[in-house]
Structure 1
Amino acid sequence: MKALRDAYVLSLEKALDTTIAGETGEERFAKTLDFIFSGKKVYLKSYEVVSFDFSPQRYSVSTKAEVQKGDISDDLQGLKIVTDLVGNPKVLVIIDEANLGKHVLRSVAESQISRELSLLGYNVIDHPVDVLDKLMERKKQLEDKKLVERRERTFSPQGVERTTTEAISYTVDYYGLVIGYGNEKIAYDYAKEKGAEILILGGVYTEEVDVASVLPSATKSNFRSVRAYSTIRAAVLESGSIVTSDALEVTKMDLSPTTAGNEAIKDLAERIVMDFIANIPLKLQL
């Protein structure tokens, strides 16, 4: 893999008649990724090994590459080459989703993100549709254990031994589980158990908004307008690096508010995954 990464860097250097500095091959490759994902509008569109030679002292690779001007984010083939070179990471996607207040087991956002990543060469780990229920049960078990431990603590003000109990609230709140309040560790531990290198975690919900605020000319129509919001992020488990997305909300219109909500979620998920694939490779420890 190291030889292939070196060949990728050399191909880009030769095409651009430049040198990408770095003390190690890994550093040069990391800088190359930063170069192609930072808006320089150039990348390798195609890349193939023509020949290779292996010996105990040396491993050489000859490649044939096509350099393309443009944004790599618009080229599935170019993105897949990068994914292959970073080792086709294993990724687990867990999204809590509610469309117009109704929680769903089969998340549209999760399915869309998983599909896009699979097409790019990521190894998407499957999980039960009721994974959030399972994680919530883990959370409850941990809280029950803490409650028992706290009940066992005693103190003796003025020589009188008494037992104190600290109440712990337990609410079935998927959204809280996956996006904050210190509960991410439950999902992180589960991801590590499944062998994931990357965990994509978060929540998506929708709400109906005034059609006039989206399209004034549709005020008297039967169209309904629904806006999707997200707090989805990706975590590289080995390094602890977090990748966020600037895609926070999308609005769609349809005669059916449920359909509008699903379309808004799908569109939002597509935008989120594009942010991730442009930044996750930069966070991986190669």
Structure 2
Amino acid sequence: MSVASAKVYADRKPKSLWEKICDDFEAQRIEYEDQDIDDTASLTTDVTQFSVSRHTPIVYGKMVHSPPVDSNVAENFNPAVSHPAAIGLNLLDRPKPKPTTPAPPPPNPRECSAKEYVESYIFPTLIPAMHAMLEQAKKERCFKRRRTKFNACDFLTEYLYRNNPQGQEGDRKDTALEEITFVKEHLTLHPRPPLPLSLLWSEEEAAVKIQSYWRGHLARTVPEIQELRQWQRDWREENADARRDVEKFWHEQENRDAVSPRPKSSLKLKSVNTRVQY
């Protein structure tokens, strides 16, 4: 009896955005093209996430298949040879993956076509940048809000500048967007309007501000607090003239000390010295 398919219980690795795009494209292409089948392949594997609560440890890392049989599989079971949890299961070691062929060298950028240039020099840098941008947009909750402070163009500019394959290593890793030379020149000619606080504040900061203002409003509505505030307002109005008089007095004193006449003692001394000379 030939085995059609088997499952491997192990840890599944998440696919990147580019791998998902390639899988979707391949699924659409297969619908219109003939699928090439390898006759030498005996089975296909489907990786299932291993769970301690649902699976036995003996199946971890194994290819498992439960063939349909008519006889009692536990009749000739020998516990000295096999495990009770493996009754009725075919456990095989997962075949080793085929060795990958080394990637061909990139074509000459001055002689290759536009398609080859994009696939060899643009996509290897742009696709990781797009993936990082989508991850950051997810953290900023851009897919749940209509307006956010996250700017995708600014993120791509900073990411591509830091990870430029032709740039010198170590001199761009910590460079912020506002420190890039061409960004400074552009912002000097085209300054941006300041963002509103509704976009700059996070939900926690906005909640703290709203709660503080609301607590202040509740405190000011207390009758005793309103009476105290009214008394302070009346006191400031009644003493406004006295405050102006005090400020005027000290202003005159400072000007008087700054422009003071010459002392009389120095004049008398000068006249005495003049008489002595004659």
TM-score per shorter chain, which class?
A: under 0.3
Q: TM-score, normalised by structure 2?
A: 0.17
Query: Scaled by the length of structure 1, what TM-score is found?
Result: 0.16
Specify which structure has the higher proportion of strand: 1
Highest CA radius of gyration, 1 or 2?
A: 2
Greater relative contact order: 1 or 2 (C-alpha under 8 angstroms, separation 6 or more)? 1
